[in-house]
């Protein structure tokens, strides 16, 4: 099994010992993205909706760096610190995910890094093997 780290400056740097994404064959595993500004590394203001919007932009930047788009995403997981934010996050998510929506799980967690309230990760099946 070969694997290749995917990195882009269009998304925040990893805040730990992990890659923004890892490609293995035709599979792309994107690490969870928070609502951090790519340049500042700070959480965007505005709560769950704003954080979800930025997290999705960050995830899209990682997908793009791997030569992918939402069309190749087959599974996402959304982590929320409060399930009461589900409707707001779901509305933002729907603006980004078109056509065949990926399978998805949404779970409530006790806490997220940097005090975030939303984190989103994805798995994609790429069209071409690298």
Contact predicate 111/83, CB 8 Å: no
Q: How confident is the model at residue 103 (pLDDT cuts 50, 70, 90)?
A: very high
CA–chain centroid gap for 32, Å, is 5
3-state SS class at 60: helix
Length of the chain: 130
Q: For a pLDDT cut of 90, what percent of the chain falls above it? A: 92
Q: What is the rounded average pLDDT of the residues 80-84?
A: 98
Q: Is the CATH number 3.40.640.10 carried by domain 4-125? A: no
Q: Supply 63's token pair.
A: 């997908």
With residues binned 3-state (H G I as helix, E B as strand, rest as coil), the percentages for the chain, rounded to 5, are 30, 30, 40
- In the DSSP assignment, the letter for residue 127 is S
Residues facing 6 on adjacent strands? 21
Q: How confident is the model at residue 98 (pLDDT cuts 50, 70, 90)?
A: confident
Q: Supply 79's token pair.
A: 């982590």
Residues facing 4 on adjacent strands? 23
Q: Pairing relation of β-strands 21-24 and 4-6?
A: antiparallel
Q: How confident is the model at residue 99 (pLDDT cuts 50, 70, 90)?
A: confident
pTM to 2 decimals?
A: 0.96
């Amino acid at each position: 099994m070969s694997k290749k780290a995917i990195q882009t400056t269009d998304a925040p740097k990893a805040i730990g010992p992990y890659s923004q994404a890892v490609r293995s064959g035709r599979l792309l595993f994107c690490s969870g993205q928070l609502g951090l500004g790519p340049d500042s590394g700070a959480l965007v203001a505005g709560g769950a909706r704003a954080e979800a919007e930025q997290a999705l932009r960050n995830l899209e930047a990682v997908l793009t760096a791997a030569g992918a788009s939402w069309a190749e995403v087959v599974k996402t997981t959304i982590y929320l610190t409060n399930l009461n934010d589900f409707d707001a996050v779901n509305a933002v998510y729907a603006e980004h995910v078109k056509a065949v929506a990926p399978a998805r799980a949404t779970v409530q967690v006790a806490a997220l890094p940097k005090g975030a309230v939303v984190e989103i990760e994805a798995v994609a099946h790429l069209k071409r093997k690298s």
